[in-house]
Each structure stands twice: as C-alpha cells, then as structure tokens.
Amino acid sequence: METIYETTGGKYEMQGDYALPSLKVGDEEEYHIGVFGQRYRRHLREQHRILYYNYMTDGTLNRHIAEVDERANRMFDSLVKKLAEKENITEKLKADDPMEWMRKLNNIRSRAMEIVNHDVIYIRRELVTIGLEMGLEEDDSLTPDGSSWANPITASENFQGDNLERALKDYVRSMPNLVIVYGGEAISYFNIYIEPIDGGRYRFYFLY
C-alpha cells in the first residue's frame, strides 16, 4: 500500500535498515569544518541517521556540525593548556630539551584528542538524544551563566569511560523529575554543556 507521500510523487530510498524519503535539499551556507566536525558528521550519519536527515532537510546540518567542531576545538585547546600546566611542560623545558618538550606535548595532545572525541562527540550526542527522547528540545545557546542547573558531574583522568557515561546518562534522565520535585516548572528546553576546569578535568552541565 502506498503512503500519502508516495501518492504525491515522493519516493523512498533505503539507508541501512531505514526507508527514508528522497528529498531534494536546497543549498546550505558553506562552513569551515575541521577534523572534529568531520568525525562528528560520521558519527551522526552512522549512529543517528534520522537526526542526521532531519538536520539535512532543515538546511541546518553544516551549521550544526560547524558549531560542534568549534566547541570541540575550544575544549581541545583548553585541555592541552591545562594539562601542560599541570605536568609542568614549560617554555624553559622547550629551551632546555626541545625533544623531551615535543614528546610530552604530543602525549598531551593525543590524550586531549581522545577525550574530545569520546566526550564531546560521542557522549554528549548520546546525552542530547536522551533529552530529545524525553520530549525536550535542545537549545545549544544555553550557558551556565544564563541558565538554571544543578549538580554538574566532573570528569577526570580517574573518572572516565563506562563509569562516567553511566553516571551522565542517569544524571540527564533524572533532571526533569528532580526539577519538579524541588518546586521548579517543567523543563521544555535543555543543553548539555561541557566546561574545562583545571588539571585536565572538565564538567558536564544539564542546563535548562
């Protein structure tokens, strides 16, 4: 049986396990998208196809990816700087032993890259998806200075991986009910905000 969309001339195409409408999308503004954005694009396309095509048909895909890329680069630069300060990778070391300075700096950059790839690109997207599935609407313009928030979770070298991911997912799922329990109004909009702090640590906020 044809769908209403097909009776009006529309066609579907298979994308993995999904039959998605074949839609012609208008030209979207060009954005510079770096390595983090390209990785996020791939993750979105492979793991969140419906959302990927929603952004595409809205004409906002490139802008969204560029914003994630910019956010990821800011966090990467901040993590590299804070880890370098923590581990005493100084200009003096660079002058005294350039090879050792480069080795340590490359190690830090590699660790910061892994953190950003996993937490900014993967975990944050999963947390946003949980919020959307609860009927909330994402507003990534929200920041801690202009929003409400409670009990942010701090990640560190000793609190990462599966334990961090479980804690964050529980945190996001619990927040809408907690706000109501403590007398707040029902949440409509939210953002998952990640803030580097000190010594390579960084904090996850559920903003509303």
Sequence-distant (≥ 6) Cβ neighbours of residue 59 within 8 angstroms = 25, 26, 28
Query: Residue 187 has which token pair?
Result: 């949440």
Number of H-type helices and E-type strands within the chain: 8, 6
pLDDT of residue 162: 87
pTM beyond 0.95: the answer is: no
Looking only at the bridges linking them, the beta strands covering 153-155 and 137-138 are unpaired
Supply the Cα-derived Rg of the chain in whole angstroms: 20
Provide the residue ranges of all domains of the chain, joining segments of one domain with +.
Answer: 13-207
Tens digit of each residue's pLDDT (9 = 90 or more) over 142-156: 999 999 998 899 998
Residue identified by tokens 């581990």 is 87
Low-confidence stretches of the chain (pLDDT beneath 70): 1-12, 15-16, 18, 20-28
190 by Cβ neighbours in 10 Å (0-12 / 13-18 / 19+) ranks as buried
Tens digit of each residue's pLDDT (9 = 90 or more) over 21-41: 665 555 567 888 999 999 999
